[in-house]
Amino acid sequence: MTRLGIFGGTFDPPHIGHLILAEEACYQLELERVLWVLTPNPPHKTDREITPAGERLAMLHAALAGAACFELSTVDLDRPAPHYAVDTVRLLRQKHPQARLVYLLGGDSLNDLTTWHNPQAFVDACDELGVMYRPGREVDLSALELALPGVAAKTRFLQAPLLEIASSQVRQRVAASQPFRYYLPEAVYQVIQRRGLYR
């Protein structure tokens, strides 16, 4: 059975940390492909200004070009807001009915899963959860299981390099005219420079 990873985010901008984590997930979880899902209007980020989806889409196209294991999915771009993860998974299930869907998320997100929209339905919709474990950030899986039955059996942890890179950090560095070139794939850096983003 085909194993597909689902990697959702605002990717504002996509940086090398995103690529390394997705590649590790592809390898450690034996995924055929990782579907990168660009979220145009994330419900949990309504308190800040987000770069227009078209600009982020251009950066994501640039970041993923030539990567055999990565594929851009427009499942969220092709539908109106709100963009909840549970709906994303259900739509991808319709597109890939024979695939095993592995939703990729960080340990922090797993800890916050009970605050997501319809979290039990989300857990039920996923075949597996690929959790990017970070040392020093504990996940109480037994407590989470009490709140969301079935989550423990579906969770698979993966080890990834500890890279303290965040998209917000990149945006701040660009705005402050600080060096940021090597936080990004070359193609994404060129898009930011060419379009004058984050200045």
pLDDT of residue 140: 86
pLDDT of residue 132: 87
pLDDT over 70 at 82, yes or no: yes
pLDDT over 80 at 133, yes or no: no
The Cα 191–Cα 151 span in angstroms is: 39
Please answer whether residues 49 and 41 qualify as being in contact, where contact means their C-beta atoms are separated by less than 8 angstroms. no
Alpha carbon 15 to its chain centroid, in Å, reads 12
Please answer whether residues 128 and 102 qualify as being in contact, where contact means their C-beta atoms are separated by less than 8 angstroms. yes
**What percent of the chain is modeled with pLDDT above 90?**
82
pLDDT of residue 44: 65
pLDDT of residue 46: 62
| Backbone angles phi and psi of 152, in degrees to 5 | -65, -45
DSSP H helix total and E strand total for the chain? 9, 6
**What percent of the chain is modeled with pLDDT above 70?**
96
Top pLDDT among 49 and 26 is at 26
| Model pTM score | 0.93
8 forms beta bridges with 37
Average pLDDT over residues 123-127: 98
Average pLDDT over residues 6-16: 96
Beta strand 100-106 pairing with 3-9: parallel
